[in-house]
Structure 1
Amino acid sequence: MKIRQILDAKIQPELVLKLTVNIALDLVVCGLLLGGIIGVVGFWRIKRPAKHRAVIGAFTGFFLSIFGVMALLIFAELYKFLDM
């Protein structure tokens, strides 16, 4: 879907912001869960218990998901700005 089609659809900016926040929260939770799983499986070289590797992976997933959240929020703000 092109930007012009999205703007012509006349979706309310508040709805876009609300959906973006919901997607952002889902993205953070998925980042934590997947990061924990990847941490346990992927960080075999770290000589720590699986619990510690899961925490390291969860933090990594959380910080990586922050970039996705920022991109979503920037998109929502740009949509609100372009709709004015």
Structure 2
Amino acid sequence: MGIQSLLIFLFVGAVAGWLAGVIMKGNGFGLLGNIVVGIVGAFIAGLVLPMVGIAIGGGILGSIIHATIGAVILLFLIRLVRRA
């Protein structure tokens, strides 16, 4: 993985984490928190979305949407666990 790929990976994670934070909570989690939430969200979406039959196009925008959906799922699950 080159430096350009790593920077794009971190950028997508940060944007997706921030978007998910805005959608679910009303604010973000700081730069590092947004990156972690976005990357974990992308992993979750990579597992869940194909099972449901949802395919999102490629490119950076598709990756951001994909990771944001997964990050929203992650934040929703965290919110459920905290309430229990």
Instruction: Classify the TM-score, shorter chain.
Output: 0.3 to 0.5
Structure number with higher relative contact order (C-alpha < 8 Å, ≥ 6 residues apart): 1
Higher CA-based Rg? 1
The two structures have a TM-score, normalised by structure 1, of: 0.35
The two structures have a TM-score, normalised by structure 2, of: 0.35
